[in-house]
Structure 1
Amino acid sequence: MRRLIIEEPYSRPARWSPMVAWFALVVTALSTLLIRFGRIDYQSGFIALGLGLAIALLAAGLSLVAFVRIWQEGRRGLGSAIKGLILAALVLGYPAYMGLKAATLPAINDVSTDTDDPPAFSRSHAALTARDGRIPPDVPPEERELQREAYVQIAPLSLDIPPEDAFSLVRKAAENLGWKIVEAVPPGGRTGAGRLEAIDRTRILKMPEDITVRVRPRVDGTRIDIRSASRIGHHDLGTNAKRIRAFLEEASNLALAVK
């Protein structure tokens, strides 16, 4: 006599979860590549990127629903639900980390070692062309206060060497960090100050960010100030402060090496 074997039904959310998660992974990866290599404008790229993240959230939600149904109704598909959740987590992990930084860091996009008299960005033809005609706006005092509270270690760099030697170190540090130098004016003239204008790009999306470095003579050497400003968004997620710290460390190391 043949025995009838009744299989437990398969959870439909568990079946759909990995497929939706794979689609989210493809959408976010393509969006990231298109933005990184300049194949799409930033607004459209971020819309597509946001869509990919929303799809990943949907995949994670399907996995959670599947877990509940598998627990309550004994349905099959646990492995599929776990796979979908893992894929969704891969898509959402880095944005979640960025979201945490946004919640814990001040909402500013312009950082300077001199908060009272920040270095001004050059308005020369070369600098404006490199920045697509953009001049980073002046920062309100309340935002500078947010910077002082959050980044107490961001301060001018003082070196006991002549301004001309300090300017050479500034340029070398910028080159070592991979910045694109768009203008370099050695110290001299009426004020005796020099400046360097450069552009750096964010690590993943390669979005341009503007930098100006001011080199001023002092009685006992040289004072170096740097300002870094993001072109896109009102929250830099700490990238400008990180860039300034890297520059100050590189310039300090170069100064120690020549002594």
Structure 2
Amino acid sequence: MLLRQIPEEPVSNAAVWCRRLGLFSVPVAAIAVALARTHAVEPQASLAVVGGAILIALIAMLLFFAACVIIWQTGRRGLGDALIGFLLAALTLGYPAYLAAEAVRLPVLSDISTDLADPPQFSLSSAALRARQSYRPRAFSPDAAEAQRAAYADIEPIVVDLEADEAFQLVLDTAKKRGWRIVDQRPPNGRSGVGHIDFMDRTLVMGFDDDITVRLRPLAGQTRIDMRSTSRNGRHDFGANAKRIRQLAEELQEGLTDR
């Protein structure tokens, strides 16, 4: 008696390509991040690579849904491959999807200041220009002030119960803990007693350079600290600059309690 083997159903091509493209999107995104963080290419080039990774991941997502339909209608195999591709594509798209949601929720701003009437100005000294590799931060746009007030009503000057020289050192210590690089500094002195510090920070994922300036003005037994944080790349900061100012304010207050 001969046993006849029933042939297996073929694998869905859509499922196979979903897995391949999902798997490919992850290293492409990782390469883009590595290129940006090491400054191996210009930011626009690394963002173009990110765009390629997003496109590949989106195609993998479409192939996942196509594979599900094909498998349901024809009984072909490949659901496991399709699920793997879907999960890898979702991993690639996770952070860009978060930024897209923030872009919808928040106004198009990339320069945030605690003082909208008289925002702190960035130093243009030779030392500052060398540290920024000749980059000059853009001038603050008065047109953005109203949008900032509506979106970030909590962003306001920081007042600490310290003399200006003590507050100056507190800012330096706090910035050092945050990993900010000092670009230029001018301690409080002279007739006005105003102090000034410029820093550079890096964005969390891509490592792009952002510019920060802090101005300290003495008050009666206190010091007013104004901060301005601006992004170099793109018109939208996705809330990063306001977050940076909030974090500095919180950490300065924590530093006061430790003294």
What's the TM-score once normalised by structure 1's chain length? 0.95
Distance in 1, Cα, partners of 2:184 & 2:30: 35
Paired amino acid for 1:101: E
Q: Say whether the 8 Å CA contact 2:231–2:237 is kept in structure 1.
A: yes
Distance in 2, Cα, partners of 1:12 & 1:204: 34
CA RMSD of aligned residues (A): 1.4
Instruction: Give the match for residue 74 of structure 2.
Output: 73
Residue by residue, what CA displacement relative to the aligned partner does 1:75-108 show, whole Å, maximum 9, x if unpaired?
2111111111111111111111111111111110
Aligned positions of 1:1-259 closer than 5 A: 1-3=2-4, 5-258=6-259
Distance in 1, Cα, partners of 2:10 & 2:76: 5
Distance in 1, Cα, partners of 2:103 & 2:45: 22
SS in structure 1 at match of 2:55: helix
SS in structure 1 at match of 2:40: coil
Residue by residue, what CA displacement relative to the aligned partner does 1:94-153 show, whole Å, maximum 9, x if unpaired?
111111111111110011111111001111111112222222222332311111111111
Paired amino acid for 1:57: L
Aligned residues: 258
Moved more, 234-243 or 124-133: 124-133
- In the TM superposition, residue 250 of structure 1 has moved relative to its aligned partner by 1.2
Q: Say whether the 8 Å CA contact 2:119–2:140 is kept in structure 1.
A: no
Paired amino acid for 1:8: E
Distance in 1, Cα, partners of 2:202 & 2:130: 17
Paired amino acid for 1:69: I
Distance in 2, Cα, partners of 1:140 & 1:36: 29
Distance in 1, Cα, partners of 2:7 & 2:254: 72
SS in structure 1 at match of 2:217: strand
Gaps of 5+ in 2: none
- In the TM superposition, residue 227 of structure 1 has moved relative to its aligned partner by 0.5
- In the TM superposition, residue 220 of structure 1 has moved relative to its aligned partner by 4.1
Residue by residue, what CA displacement relative to the aligned partner does 1:134-173 show, whole Å, maximum 9, x if unpaired?
2222233231111111111111111232111111111111
Paired amino acid for 1:168: Q
Distance in 2, Cα, partners of 1:251 & 1:7: 67
Distance in 1, Cα, partners of 2:229 & 2:86: 38
Q: Say whether the 8 Å CA contact 2:107–2:147 is kept in structure 1.
A: yes
SS in structure 1 at match of 2:196: strand
